[in-house]
Amino acid sequence: MSAGITAVRGMNDILPGESERWEALEDVLRAWLRGYGYRNIRTPILEQTALFRRAIGETTDIVEKEMYSFVDDLNGERLTMRPEATASTVRAAIEHSLLYPGPQRLYYFGQMFRHERPQKGRYRQFHQVGAEAMGFAGPDIDAEQMLMCQRLWDDLGLSGISLHINSLGSLPERVTHREALVAYLRDNEAYLDEDSRRRMHANPLRVLDSKNPDLQGLIAGAPRLLDYLGDDSLKHFDGVQTILKDAGIAYVINPRLVRGLDYYNLTVFEWVTDKLGAQGTVCGGGRYDGLMEQLGGKPAPACGWAMGIERLLALMAKEGQATDAAGPDVYLVNQGELASRSAFRVAEDLRAAGFEVVQHCGGGSFKSQMKKADASGAWLAVILGDDEVAAGEATLKPLREEKAQQRVKIAAIADAVGSHLFQEDEA
Ligand code: ATP
Ligand code: MG
């Protein structure tokens, strides 16, 4: 397609054959989230650029180099395509006073945009499902969010996703740790890369989040924030761990886990698999008690996570969880003028009874229609010819098993189709 227009690099079309897996997963996710009392929120994909700069932080990878930002030609507004949805959810919560009646559990699902180098598991448009619990201060909600993820892995039959947790403490604790960290980084300045050298002063914690393999040794030796936590932070962290232990959920404390966004405090966590190569983080989250106030709202503690759908689907495919793209229940073959006219009524009757029906459109010979019926993956062909319709009847032809075809009354077609498909299910 050299002369044609293609999709933007790093942004994927999700085509039939693949989209069935997405829909099936979305159904599971919605039911699972509702099972924990989360309610759906849908915010715009475009937000004012200032929202993300303020929420995520000026010296993060996302804000410094990954955002799709532009000036709206029509009115000069500075806009950004959301790189994540926590900022938007908090903005909406403030704008609509969502916490006025009390704490809220919210979830979202949708596209996010980051100008990263596209590779397997890393795209420029990708999808996240995420949850935000707002107005909750205790460690119970943090732990509940980890427990719920474990339930999802179990429900999806996924194994080997391990939970990493850490605590980022409070602001004063991070300030004290920061002094030690800057001193350490300064001593090792010669080994830092350009980004880290720049961030060493502006936002030294970000150096610990560097993906540069050459820096990992240096990062491993850096002062640990965990060693700077006061009593309250430790108590919160212990609280989370007690609930995890009670629930029998294995976890590792990873003192290097700082997350890539500035709004986090206290608990942070990631679910990581080694089955997806370098892009092994399936889910990341944590507490962001200061964000509400930072965005101009009434202070309220909160905790949330976001999961990458592409990575989750890739893992499901790896673990053999790929669902087949199922065909419709019925392909409706119709030939002759009378038959093609009554086909509409028959199709609607079947759909009203709950069946998935593809009605043949576009005419053609009986043979070519039967070929299409076969290719559609349908269980059953319902055949209407003028003779049949004149007699008030239709022919049912099983397509997936060696079974004789059968003439049935059109008036009782739904029952006849039903008894076929239900037999099929039992087999
Ligand atoms: P990574 O360390 O892989 O860059 P992140 O810390 O930037 O991830 P978050 O902002 O925490 O990611 O987003 C939560 C989840 O969204 C990630 O754990 C991952 O599953 C998914 N995700 C993030 N960026 C992308 C991307 N560019 N393409 C596909 N999935 C992504
Ligand atoms: Mg990233």
92: domain CATH number? 3.30.930.10
Distance between Cα 60 and ligand 2 center (Å)? 10
354 with 410, same domain: the answer is yes
135 with 271, same domain: the answer is yes
Q: Which ligand is nearest to the CA of 281?
A: 1
Structural domain range at position 132: 19-169+229-318
| Helix orientation angle between 139-156 and 231-246, rounded to the nearest 10 degrees | 30
Find the CATH number of the domain harbouring 357: 3.40.50.800
Mean pLDDT of all residues in 187-192: 92
pLDDT-wise least confident of 89-103, 115-129, 226-240, 322-336: 322-336
CB 137 within 8 A of CB 235: no
What is the predicted pLDDT for the residue at 209? 86
103 with 39, same domain: the answer is yes
pLDDT band at 323; cut points 50, 70, 90: low
The answer to the question of residue 52 being in a domain is yes
- Domain end marker among 318, 352, 380: 318
Distance between Cα 264 and ligand 2 center (Å)? 15
The answer to the question of residue 236 being in a domain is yes
| CA separation for the pair 336, 342 (Å, rounded) | 10
Which residue from 279, 287, 303, 315 has its CB within 8 A of the most atoms of ligand 1, so it is best to mutate? 279
How much helix, strand and coil, in percent to the nearest 5, is found in the chain? Answer: 45, 20, 35
What is the predicted pLDDT for the residue at 420? 83
Domain count, the chain: 2
Q: From the centroid of its chain, how far is CA 240? A: 24
| CA separation for the pair 88, 148 (Å, rounded) | 23
Dihedral angle at the C-alpha atoms of 360, 362, 366, 370, nearest 10 degrees?
-40
| CA separation for the pair 134, 91 (Å, rounded) | 12
Q: 424 pLDDT exceeds 50?
A: no
- Tell me whether strands 281-287 and 265-272 are parallel, antiparallel or unpaired: antiparallel
Distance between Cα 309 and ligand 1 center (Å)? 10
Q: Which ligand is nearest to the CA of 209?
A: 1
% the chain with pLDDT above 70:
97
What is the predicted pLDDT for the residue at 325? 64
Q: 201 pLDDT exceeds 90?
A: no
% the chain with pLDDT above 90:
86
pTM, 2 dp:
0.91
50 with 129, same domain: the answer is yes
314 with 334, same domain: the answer is no
115 lines ligand 1 (CB under 6 A): no
Q: 118 pLDDT exceeds 60?
A: yes
